[in-house]
Structure 1
Amino acid sequence: RYSSGHDGCPLTDMAVSVLAKSAWHPVGQRLGTLNFWVNRIYSTGTVSLVSPSHLAEPEVNFDMLSDERDAQRLKSAFRFVARLINHKALVNIALDPFPSTWTGRAKRIGKYNRLNYGLTSLLAGLMDSSSSLRRSLIRFAITDGRSISDLLTNDELLDRFVRQNVFGNFHPTSTCRMGSAQDPTSVTDPSGRVHGLSGLRIADASVMPFCPRANTNIPTIMVAEKMSDAILHEREQQ
Structure 2
Amino acid sequence: DMAISALAKSAWHPIGKRLGTLAFWVNRVYSTGRVSLKNSSHATEPEVNFNMLSDKRDAERLKEAFRFVAQLLQHKALVALALDPFPSTWTGRAKRISKYNRLNFGLTSIVATLMDSTSWLRRSLIRSVITDGHSVSDLLESDGLLDHFIRQNAFGNFHPTSTCRMGPALEPTSVTDPSGRVHRVSGLRVADASVMPFCPRANTNIPTIMVAEKISHAILNER
- Secondary structure, aligned partner of 2:76: coil
What's the CA shift for 1:182? 1.7
For residues 213 and 191 of structure 1, the distance between their equivalents in structure 2, rounded to whole angstroms, comes to 23
Displaced runs of 4+ in structure 1, greater than 3 A?
A: 232-235
- Secondary structure, aligned partner of 1:96: coil
Which runs of 5 or more residues in structure 1 are unaligned? 1-12
Output aligned runs, 1:76-115, within 5 Å.
76-115=64-103
Structure 1 counterpart of 2:147: 159
Deviation by residue 1:38-93 (Cα, 9 ceiling, x = unmatched) = 00111111112223322221121111000111111111111111111111221111
Letter in 2 for 1:204: D
Structure 2 counterpart of 1:28: 16
Does residue 195 of structure 1 match 2:183?
A: yes
| Alignment size in residue pairs | 223
Output aligned runs, 1:1-238, within 5 Å.
13-235=1-223
Which runs of 5 or more residues in structure 2 are unaligned? none
- Secondary structure, aligned partner of 1:116: helix
Deviation by residue 1:160-203 (Cα, 9 ceiling, x = unmatched) = 00000010000000111111212221111122110001222111
What's the CA shift for 1:20? 1.1
Which region of structure 1 is more displaced relative to structure 2, 160-169 or 54-63? 54-63
Deviation by residue 1:91-110 (Cα, 9 ceiling, x = unmatched) = 11111110000011111111
Letter in 2 for 1:62: F
For residues 29 and 121 of structure 2, the distance between their equivalents in structure 1, rounded to whole angstroms, comes to 40
For residues 100 and 154 of structure 1, the distance between their equivalents in structure 2, rounded to whole angstroms, comes to 17
- Secondary structure, aligned partner of 1:89: helix
For residues 157 and 71 of structure 1, the distance between their equivalents in structure 2, rounded to whole angstroms, comes to 13
Letter in 2 for 1:177: R
What's the CA shift for 1:226? 2.0
Letter in 2 for 1:231: I
TM-score, normalisation: structure 1: 0.90
Identity %: 79
For residues 43 and 188 of structure 2, the distance between their equivalents in structure 1, rounded to whole angstroms, comes to 21
What's the CA shift for 1:147? 0.7
Letter in 2 for 1:90: L
After superposition, the CA RMSD in angstroms is 1.2
For residues 31 and 177 of structure 2, the distance between their equivalents in structure 1, rounded to whole angstroms, comes to 23
For residues 223 and 88 of structure 1, the distance between their equivalents in structure 2, rounded to whole angstroms, comes to 47
